[in-house]
Chains A and B, each alone.
Chain A
Amino acid sequence: MAQVQLKAVSKSYIPGALIINNASITVNDGEFMVLVGPSGSGKSTLLRMIAGLETITTGDILIEGKVVNKLHPKDRDIAMVFQDYALYPHMSVYDNMAFSLKSKNVSSSIIKKRVLEAAEILDLTPLLMRKPKALSGGQRQRVALGRAIVRQPKVFLFDEPLSNLDAKLRTQMRLELKRLHAFLKATIIYVTHDQTEAMTLGDKITVLNHGVIQQMNTPLNIYNHPTNQFVASFLGSPQINFFDSTIISQNHHLYISNNAWEIDMPEKFRSNFNNLQSPTKVMIGVRPEDIFEFDDGALKRPQFCFNATVDVVETLGAEVLCSLKSDVGPIQMRISDKKQVVSYSANINKTKRLTFDLDQMLMFDPETGNNLFSTATPC
């Protein structure tokens, strides 16, 4: 296995219009790196550049310390799993898995050994003589994985491999991929637009938007300390709530104020606003799970609350997703309390007193979108 490095890599099809803009990423040996972003963010292009299927305009791509910019895909010692599996339809599962080794004139005994080993790992042994059309989506995906495994490459590249599967199978395959990574200890670069896949699979996540890397860190660090509003809104379902607010300094006291509440500036945010001269606009971000109903009787409770009317209730079984209307705009709230989950739909059109955990609050510059207090440790 190997380390993959991208150094200031850019790509443009038309001069001046960058599809990938100055991307620098390091994927360490044996690491599972997920490239995540919305459609058109450039994640698949970046992966194809690593594979050698797209040329790069500027920068360097290094595999195991060696620049591979000009190398043909077959000489990069990588394996790729495609979104549509890309199985050869006229060949059996065995032949599909053996194809790359056959093209390299590897001896048939070694081919057989490697294919059978991979089939064993992926539970494909009974299916080896079948054609791809006789397989289910999940089985096809496993064959695509098997085809990559038999090559024993330095790096595995995955281009949205689970997006064609139904929800149940996707969850199952996600687990299998995780297990497989632990078993192979392989360097994997995985592209997805699905944040759940990104959060659950990756040792590290790189978030891309419009060809620019927004943040690269561990899943939890990215979730808890997003570098900007885009990252905060992209990861997390339902989406994070944003509230337009103003910071006001009055008699040496700092307040965060908006249509619905006025609260004391929490201690951890104060340092940045000590010399505040005039009211400053900020964007407050609060995750749905950090908003909850205000409880008068709670011993340790936030000292503020605001009103919101229950609009839509989505019961998911273990939790409830609730959309509310308030003076600060629509609010998404996640309720995991089992007692509330059962009958929460009875609250539609009722007004609730809400509050949120100030320690979990995020604060962004409304103009640049940057997190004003990003405390994520760089990785």
Chain B
Amino acid sequence: MTHLTLNIRKKSLLYLLLLFGLLLTLFPFLWMISTSFKPENEIFQKTINLLPASFTFEHYLKLFKEINFGKHFINSLIVSLGITGFSVVINSMAAYAFAKIDFPQRNRLFLLLLITMMVPMQTTMIPSFYILKKMGLLNTFSGLIIPAGASVYGIFLIRQFMFSIPNSLIEAARIDGCSEWYIFWKIIIPLSRPILATITIFTFLSAWNEFLFPLIILREEAKYTLPLALATLNGQFNTDWGLLMAGSVVVIIPVIIVFLLVQKHYIKGLTAGSVKG
């Protein structure tokens, strides 16, 4: 057997495995979309039909007419964009300080920050609730946005990326007469775009899908975010699967849009620093 044939066989096997993995991942997603367009009687058929026999938009119409999904969608958008914007700014500022500004005990302080990653969210939930209550931020979007402003994981990722920005650029800018603030906005932020895109996706995704914290903070149903509203579709005795799947499709759309918008930078961010620049 020639080396070439062996190579082709190995590659075919690899692609076959990858194809299997792809189908395994893709199937629930396609099933969800398909179900959202199926009429009620078709959903519970014994045979598996990926394409609905007759298309219907009734679940989508019901979603926006009866349970005010549009309002929850906007709530989610406000909270998720708020958290994403706020945390990208705060995290990148903190990361710049930890990566590029020399101050006493910098590394120890950063280590201390890293240690907080080991504290589970459940342990800080009740103290956070009391703090927000004292601040009068319960049942407000600010109560969801402000606590999510700083993330140690985000600071860590951005800081590691910023290490790869040569110090000479910052020194050149200092000699050029720039203030630290100007250097941060004009040099550091544009050069950190790949990692900021990555952080944007991570943060947006987790904010968009967050269920527990909004459940604790938000009291009025009118202020519910999408995951909370989606949960209300799950009845105690029966579930409207068509409606639930339509809701799930609507929930996923913004995530896909955000990913498509920043995917180029996102890939760069994930591979940043892996090869010599």
Q: Which residues of A does B touch, CB under 8 Å? A: 51-53, 72-74, 78-80, 82-84, 86, 88-90, 99-100, 103-104, 147, 151
Contacts and interface: CB of A to CB of B under 8 A. Distances in A.
Contacts of B174: 53, 72-74
Interface residues of B, number: 16
Contacts of B21: none
A10 to B, nearest CB: 21
Contacts of A53: 171, 174-175
Nearest to B171: A53
B66 interface: no
Contact of B175 (A80, A90, A104): A80
Contacts, number: 54
A53 B172 CA distance: 10
B191 A104 contact: no
A89 B192 CA distance: 12
A80 to B, nearest CB: 5
A103 B175 contact: no
A79 B175 contact: yes
B177 A51 contact: no
Interface in B153-175: 166, 168-169, 171-175
A90 B176 contact: no
Contacts of B166: 84, 86
Nearest to A83: B168
B182 interface: yes
25 contacts: A51-B171, A51-B175, A52-B175, A53-B174, A73-B171, A73-B175, A74-B174, A74-B175, A74-B178, A80-B171, A80-B172, A82-B171, A82-B172, A86-B166, A86-B169, A88-B172, A88-B173, A88-B187, A99-B176, A99-B186, A100-B176, A100-B178, A103-B177, A147-B172, A147-B176
Contacts of B28: none
Interface of B: 166, 168-169, 171-178, 182, 186-187, 190-191
Nearest to B168: A86
Contact of A103 (B169, B171, B178, B190): B178
Contacts of B168: 82-84, 86
B172 A103 contact: no
Contact of A104 (B169, B177, B187): B177
B171 A90 contact: no
Residue from B168, B172, B173, B187 having most chain A Cβ neighbours under 10 A: B172
B198 to A, nearest CB: 18
A86 B178 contact: no
A114 B182 CA distance: 22
Contacts of B177: 74, 100, 103-104
Contacts of A147: 172, 176
A52 B177 CA distance: 12
